[in-house]
Amino acid sequence: MFPLARAAQSLVARGIQRTAVRGAHRKHEPTFHDKYGTMVLLGGASMCTAVWAYVFTSLNVEWGISPVGRVTPSEWR
């Protein structure tokens, strides 16, 4: 059992070493997220803010006004 476990361990170690070497020698090219990620995030946040600001200003809601004293119950028949 020990020789089999040792062989499996060496295979795993070799695979890890190969992966590390491949990653170390490869040039890092900027991806879409590296290039435009921040701008896309800021653009989406500003668009969301603009849409909600338009919705809230076009609703004509009086914010924070209490209906106490202004709402009277209707006559019961």
Question: Which residues constitute the domain of residue 15?
Answer: 7-44
Flag whether 66 is in a domain.
Answer: no
Flag whether 64 is in a domain.
Answer: no
In this model, does residue 47 exceed pLDDT 80?
yes
Q: What is the mean pLDDT of residues 6-20?
A: 73
**Residue 44 pLDDT:** 96
pLDDT averaged over every residue in the chain: 79
Number of structural domains (the chain) is 1
How far is Cα 45 from Cα 49, in angstroms, rounded to an integer? 6
pTM summary value: 0.44
**Helix/strand/coil for 1:** coil
Flag whether 21 is in a domain.
Answer: yes
- What does the pLDDT look like over 52-75, one tens digit per residue? 999 888 887 666 777 777 777 778
In this model, does residue 1 exceed pLDDT 60?
no
